[in-house]
Structure 1
Amino acid sequence: MSVRPAWDDSTSPLRRKTLSLLWGDRVGLLIFLLSLCLFGLTWRTAFLINDSYTIANGVYALEHGSLDMTTAAYGPGLETPGAEWYDGELYSRNYGVIFAALPLVYLLRALELVADLRVVLVAAWCLTLLAATLLAGRILDRRRTATYAGSVAVFGLFSLNVALATPLDPVQHHLIALQIVHMVGAAFVGVFAYRLVRELHDRRRAVLAAVLVTLGTPLPFWAAVPKRHVLTAAVVLAVAFAIARSRDGKRAYATESRALAYVLVGLLAWVHAPEALVVLVALAVVDVPSAPANDARSLAVVGGAFLVSLVPMLATNFALTGDPLTVPRALRNAPPDADLSIDGPSGPNPAADGGDVSLETGGETTEIGSVSEGGAGTPTEGGDGDGRTGWSIPAVLLPVVALTESAVEVLATFGELLSQGLSKLSTRPEQVYHSFVRSGYVDRVARRAQDAPSANLSFLESAPVVAGLVAVIPVALASARERVDASRLRPRVPPVDGFVVVFAVCYSLVYISRLPVHAQVTVRYLFPLYPVAVYGLVRLPPVGAILDRHWRTIAWTYSAGLLVGSQFLLVALVFLAPGRGEAFQFHALLALGTAGPVGAWALTGRSAGKCGQFGALSIGLATAAATTFLIFVTVEYFALGDSHALPMVRVLAELVDLV
């Protein structure tokens, strides 16, 4: 059976370049379409997190021509989590996705004039599935089979869903638009996992990397939730891919690829500036020393592209606060009458007049500090006791000084968060353990939630396959022995691997000081670390060898674990009749039970013979455990009433009643 991943020669050059820029090849596009189909199965057109009310109201306000929110179209009121007051007006957050969702609101309203919105969503999902089927037929050179079988199957699914459909009540256009934006972003997580690994290895390992990211992590659960997590994950992988493409100075578009990495960070800042800062720091630390060239032309292209990408964020911030570097979330502790303008009497400091600035981490706040009255941006003056001024900053330089001070303040905050993370590692290691390894009962979290049942899984419990990362130990030992034999003491770390490691370390330190928190399902604040962990996993030689040699074993074990194991799990839960918190802990123990064999095999560092087959079996079972949890979360634990976008999933959820 032949495989044809390249684009057709009949495709126009412009279209081929566009398709290649977004998806690489046909396989990348197929991963994108199949991911959207999967996310459609887990899609619930309802609010899962209170923060989403704020963003949806922000879209509503923008549709009505305003950045500030005056009408609570969603939620119990305007002052939902994430909304911030400034100068008597209430603002939302994540304005990047708010602007991206607005055209979809108009599109949904237009489509609703033709058919019921529920039917429109069903039709869109079925068309996406049909497109994926036809594309798979082209890739596998089975066009006729894919056309006939795919058309019949998709028509049957469309008919079934239309027969079961009920009108959406209420029709939440702004929420649905936001969910579509995030699902598209989430679909690119698998795409860039594939493209990144394909750039460094073969296509088979790249496809398996995309499968593990999509089915072995909580990606499908968070895909339709209007939070920044999936977008940050997509940007991180895209930046890593851009770094990998830019390391060869002789390659076409190498400098442009390097500039693209910074452009992506700038656009992420429009969505969530603090996380964009973490990505920027990791990128700059690795990119500048390892770049093929740092001449004036290269730096001008990179710097110019980065500055242009920041324009949307800077313009939005300036329209809201008067300071391009003050994001809406920094207004949390600012006094209502604070002047944040870069040329105002109080200068650029968000904490003017004694206010404090805070940065959200894990649903809490970290105070940056207080500033004396007069603001940090007030021109410094020295008096000699008779009121005469010794010196002053020229008025033309005030904006530059103000922006510089704002930038220094942001970097100082970042350093403080890293310090707090290191302190947490040394003083409260048990809480770090609860976030990364075993959730269980955490007294501090339970007391804060007034003993309400928690719904938390740790990082490892949510994606047990990442236990294979312990293979880094035998790999590092073998590499150290080779360096000693070759009299070469310094290890050679590829720039893309260096970026991933620096990002993972900085990101973890920024958030672990605020973890664990109550009812975050799968440590959602650390979500971008899941695809990063899978990338590191498939890059390790023992794991890569398993994926290359025993991929069929992984596929069959995964299928059996999902189809058969999920039924046994359903029977066990029906018999136990647990509450939601107890059911989560049941899944946690199951995940740890599958993570154990993965870690035990990975410690051997061996991939040949029976040891390799055992590793393949354990990886397949661990991935199946993660997917099974996602199915139960979608169908049962967070069914959210009649909110499933696909009626057939809603009917299944009504048939299952466990908690």
Structure 2
Amino acid sequence: MSGDRPSGVEAQFRSVWSERLSQYGNRAGRFVFGDGVGVTLWLAVVLVLALSWRVGFFITDTYPIANAVANLGDGRLAMTPTDFQYSLTLGTQPGLHEYGGRFYARNYGQVVAALPFLWLLEGASAVAPPRLVLAGGWALGVVGLGRRLAAHFDRRWLRLVAVVVASAWFAVAVVFATALDRSQLPLVALQLSTLAAAGLVAVSCYRLVGTFHDRRVAVAAGVALALATPVGFWATIPKRHVLVTALVFGSVFAFARSRQLDGRASYVAHGLAYGALGLVAWVHAFEGFFLTAALFAVDFLTEPRKSRRRLAVVGGIFALSVLPMAVTNVLINGNPLRPPRLLPGVGPESVELAPTGGPESSGGDTGSGTAGGDVGADPTGDGVDADSTGGDGTQRTLLDELLGLLSPLFVLVTLAETVLTQLAFIGTYAVSAVSDGVAAAGEHERLWEIFVRRGHSASLSGVNDYEPIDLSVVESTPIVGTLLALPAVAVVRLRRHGAAVSRLGPRRQTDLLVASYVVVLTLVYLPRLPLFSQLTVRYLLPVIALASYCPFRLPAVREAITGAPRTTAGVYAGTVLAGSALVAVVLGVLDPALGEAIQFHALLGLCIAAVAAVLVVGRTLAPARVSPRSVAVGMALAGGATTVYLSLASVEYFAYGPFAFDAVELIARLVPIL
């Protein structure tokens, strides 16, 4: 009996810890995904977008980021040319910076986000080949998705279908498996991180819309953000844009919840709205700065509850969120406010949102200039030896003690001077960037090429092998065209309720924040657009995603989704399946060049966007003449057109590397368009 007691205590101890871990896991899941629908949506989006995953470098900006992931995974922040795993030359790595004879990447928030995926892949690849690890992970995801769908819809056969699909998928992977070198794992981890972030964009949009409207509308919005916008295009191309978009949506959702909740929960949500932007600054310091300024302006105008406790919580969370950026900057160059983007670049010229150089630090070089001098040098700087003062040792001792007491003050003054100089430099640059954006907003041709019709650009006709592969905002995202109904909705709103900002409810305050984010990001990037290889106006991806959320705030669109859900889902599915096949057949017969094929999608997107916009505007102004079912058809066509482009772009148009899954490679060979 005495031997059973310890085992019973041990079992009870394990049970308590297991229960606690389960509780913590459930809380973390609710914090990230909200509910079971959010988990299901994230899993479905990740699995679908993973089908277009190619392991390779689509844009050369990825080289330094992937090298940074590989080196940081090995415990090295600084890099030398011998540490460049993916590119051995400096000139082929845009975004590489030099300080003190060492090289650094940028977007370290994105680099750190990829590390857990790298460690997971390295551990799993020790058991099985990397290609089978990826195929097995996708198969397990399908099984998990099938279980969730079967439980949600009470259809047991969905679980069986998921098991069959997963088994067939993994069997094909085993039979046709090709080699994937372990040296590619840092790049794969980087792509996995952006793929997961794309799923979080959909989840955040679902939760944001669900905060104000019906769950059915919220699910439609989440699916649309992932599959009917360029978010799906960039999901497996490891640029920073998808990660920033996920954090921006997290900020908007936290802001909306802070306006609905009370007490401590409201304080925490309010702080998280700023905290998400602090993490944006770790990825891109200047985007984080402009977004934080926009949030502060809206917050100041609309928040009536400015208590000391609220300010303390918000300030504390924001300070914690910017701490990783500050620590990274200190480890690189010793200045917490000097991101890698302000260090000298060693690659090709960049069009990034950053000034050409940082302010000169007058205090940083003086110390190094005196190092190695005479040990007995006079601290007063007058060059007189102590013995020549007539032996007044008492005066010398008192002066030394006084200087010793004041030395911490001198350090603080120097630090404050450095910080103030950096802040003044950033403020001057911010004013200049916004002023340039306002000036660029008056250039109608520039606005037309960015937002409406790109086509051939005389200024950029020699790039991309003379292929017009870039799309405008509306060409790449036709559902944005439905925002033409916004003026009519705004007029009705103003007539009924006026324009007092202080009386805005949580919904309108959130709308104001979304509009502020859209305006500030558009203004600061306008002078840099259009540019070569922007593809789907990638620098405006957060803007496009926020703009794509806005149609689901329109009454006409919500009525269409809730009133005709089967029509919406059926037309969208039919457009994706039949539309992809039809476009593939037509283009296969025409045998176009790459630019011609993409411009075919551009014109198709513009036409569908016009139809959807007319239907939504008609429903808004004349609801008796335009039915919700008609609006549902228009919205489904607009979303389906983008999904068709995303699927064909990944399968056929941009073959920059092998597919992550061999089964997709086999299917892609059957679609000879180009």
Q: Which bin holds the TM-score, normalised by the shorter protein?
A: 0.7 to 0.9
Deviation at 1:317, TM superposition (A): 0.3
- 1:19 is aligned to 2:29: yes
Deviation at 1:377, TM superposition (A): 11
The range that moved more, 212-221 or 619-628, is 212-221
Structure 1 equivalent of residue 338 of structure 2:
326
Residues 31-70 of structure 1: pairs in structure 2 closer than 5 A: 31-70=41-80
Structure 1 equivalent of residue 514 of structure 2:
500
Distance 2:456 2:148 in 1: 47
Helix, strand or coil at the partner of 1:456: coil
Structure 1 equivalent of residue 641 of structure 2:
625
Distance 2:78 2:624 in 1: 61
The range that moved more, 35-44 or 543-552, is 543-552
Structure 2 equivalent of residue 634 of structure 1:
650
- 1:294 is aligned to 2:306: yes
Q: Which has the higher helix share?
A: 2
Residues 553-572 of structure 1: pairs in structure 2 closer than 5 A: 553-572=567-586
In the alignment, which of 299, 305, 315 is matched to residue 303 of structure 1? 315
Question: What residue identity is the alignment partner of 1:233?
Answer: T
Q: Judging changes above 3 Å, is the alpha-carbon distance between structure 1 residues 647 and 296 closer, same or farther for their aligned structure 2 residues?
A: same
Distance 1:571 1:468 in 2: 29
Question: What residue identity is the alignment partner of 1:43?
Answer: W
| TM-score normalized with structure 2 length | 0.85
- 1:615 is aligned to 2:635: no
Structure 2 equivalent of residue 535 of structure 1:
549
Question: What residue identity is the alignment partner of 1:538?
Answer: F
The range that moved more, 284-293 or 268-277, is 284-293
Deviation at 1:255, TM superposition (A): 0.7
Q: Judging changes above 3 Å, is the alpha-carbon distance between structure 1 residues 292 and 657 closer, same or farther for their aligned structure 2 residues?
A: same
| TM-score normalized with structure 1 length | 0.87
Deviation at 1:637, TM superposition (A): 0.7
Structure 2 equivalent of residue 188 of structure 1:
200
Deviation at 1:69, TM superposition (A): 1.6
Structure 2 equivalent of residue 649 of structure 1:
664
* Higher RCO structure, 1 or 2 (CA under 8 Å, sep 6+): 2
Deviations 1:58-81 (A, max 9, x none): 122223332222122103524410
Deviation at 1:567, TM superposition (A): 1.6
Larger radius of gyration: 2
Structure 1 equivalent of residue 124 of structure 2:
111
Check whether the contact 1:266–1:306 (CA below 8 A) recurs between aligned residues.
yes
Distance 2:666 2:464 in 1: 34
Deviations 1:401-424 (A, max 9, x none): 311221232122122111111111
Deviation at 1:521, TM superposition (A): 1.4
Deviation at 1:654, TM superposition (A): 2.1
Check whether the contact 2:584–2:671 (CA below 8 A) recurs between aligned residues.
no
Residues 233-632 of structure 1: pairs in structure 2 closer than 5 A: 233-250=245-262, 253-291=265-303, 293-332=305-344, 362-363=351-352, 366-367=355-356, 374=362, 394-426=410-442, 428-447=443-462, 449=463, 452-483=466-497, 492=504, 494-604=508-618, 605=620, 606-607=622-623, 610-632=626-648
Deviation at 1:638, TM superposition (A): 1.2
Deviations 1:501-537 (A, max 9, x none): 0010000011111111112211111111122012211
Structure 2 equivalent of residue 124 of structure 1:
137
Deviation at 1:614, TM superposition (A): 2.0
Deviation at 1:10, TM superposition (A): 13
Helix, strand or coil at the partner of 1:90: strand
Deviations 1:220-256 (A, max 9, x none): 2201122110011111111111011111352661111
Distance 2:110 2:433 in 1: 26
Helix, strand or coil at the partner of 1:60: helix
Question: What residue identity is the alignment partner of 2:421?
Answer: E
Distance 2:365 2:644 in 1: 55
Distance 1:533 1:169 in 2: 40
- 1:75 is aligned to 2:87: yes
Deviation at 1:213, TM superposition (A): 0.7
Deviations 1:65-116 (A, max 9, x none): 3222212210352441000122222111111222232333233222222111
Q: CA RMSD in A?
A: 2.8
Q: Judging changes above 3 Å, is the alpha-carbon distance between structure 1 residues 128 and 271 closer, same or farther for their aligned structure 2 residues?
A: same
Question: What residue identity is the alignment partner of 1:429?
Answer: H
Question: What residue identity is the alignment partner of 1:613?
Answer: R
Structure 2 equivalent of residue 209 of structure 1:
221
Distance 1:376 1:115 in 2: 51
Distance 1:489 1:453 in 2: 47
Check whether the contact 2:114–2:189 (CA below 8 A) recurs between aligned residues.
yes
Question: What residue identity is the alignment partner of 1:282?
Answer: A
The number of equivalent residue pairs is 610
The percentage of counterpart residues that share the same residue type is 35
The range that moved more, 222-231 or 57-66, is 57-66
In the alignment, which of 143, 158, 163 is matched to residue 151 of structure 1? 163
Deviation at 1:607, TM superposition (A): 4.8
- 1:172 is aligned to 2:184: yes
Helix, strand or coil at the partner of 2:98: strand
Question: What residue identity is the alignment partner of 2:592?
Answer: P
Q: Judging changes above 3 Å, is the alpha-carbon distance between structure 1 residues 490 and 196 closer, same or farther for their aligned structure 2 residues?
A: closer
Distance 2:221 2:135 in 1: 29
Distance 1:314 1:490 in 2: 35
Check whether the contact 1:249–1:293 (CA below 8 A) recurs between aligned residues.
no
Q: Judging changes above 3 Å, is the alpha-carbon distance between structure 1 residues 377 and 283 closer, same or farther for their aligned structure 2 residues?
A: farther
Distance 1:488 1:429 in 2: 32
Distance 2:122 2:22 in 1: 33
Distance 1:432 1:359 in 2: 24
Helix, strand or coil at the partner of 1:68: coil
Structure 2 equivalent of residue 382 of structure 1:
none
